[in-house]
Amino acid sequence: QVALTESGPALVKPTQTLTLTCTFSGFSLTTTGMRVNWIRQPPGRALEWLARIDWDDDEFYSRSLKTRLSISKDTSKNQVVLTMTNMAPVDTGTYFCARLTGDGAFDVWGQGTLVTVSS
């Protein structure tokens, strides 16, 4: 059974760097075709795709946020880590990790973790 779980700080201060971890089970990021993504959702607003990392170490980022984002993986721990620099109040929201299929769909999602940016 495939599952993903996000973890990280609930509160960060403006200008700080956010580090979130996605711990997954039921698949391996060493398997060809596996991809893990980060997606966020401000309160009451729409989803926004942030970043993706593939089984072959390829990394892809949102064009509007790429200067602030970094994604990495630790296959021994079944984890994907997202860092976002220079956090601001507008970055407040729920951050989800999700698996991407070869059919271009996010088929399994974590429950999300709420991050509030405030001094």
Partner 1 sequence: QSALTQPRSVSGSPGQSVTISCTGTGSDVGGYEYVSWYQQHPGKAPKLMIYEDTKRPSGVPDRFSGSKSGNTASLTISGLQAEDEADYYCCSYAGAYTYVFGTGTKVTVL
Q: List residues binding partner 1 (CB under 8 A).
A: 37, 39, 45-49, 52, 58, 60-64, 96, 98, 101, 103-107, 109-112
Q: Return the number of the residue (38 or 78) whose C-beta is nearest partner 1.
A: 38
Using the minimum distance from each CB to partner 1, give the nearer residue, 62 or 75: 62
For partner 1, the closer of residues 1 and 63 by Cβ is 63
For residues 51 and 67, is the Cβ–Cβ distance under 8 A? no
Q: How far is the CB of 70 from partner 1 (least distance, A)?
A: 16
Instruction: Give all strands of the β-sheet with 79-84 in edge-to-edge order.
Output: 3-7, 18-25, 79-84, 69-74
Backbone angles phi, psi at 90, to 5 degrees: -70, -10
Residue 119 Cβ vs partner 1, minimum distance, rounded to whole Å? 26
- Tell me the closest approach of the beta carbon of residue 114 to partner 1, in angstroms: 10
d(CA 7, CA 112): 8
Cβ–Cβ under 8 Å, residues 6 and 112: yes
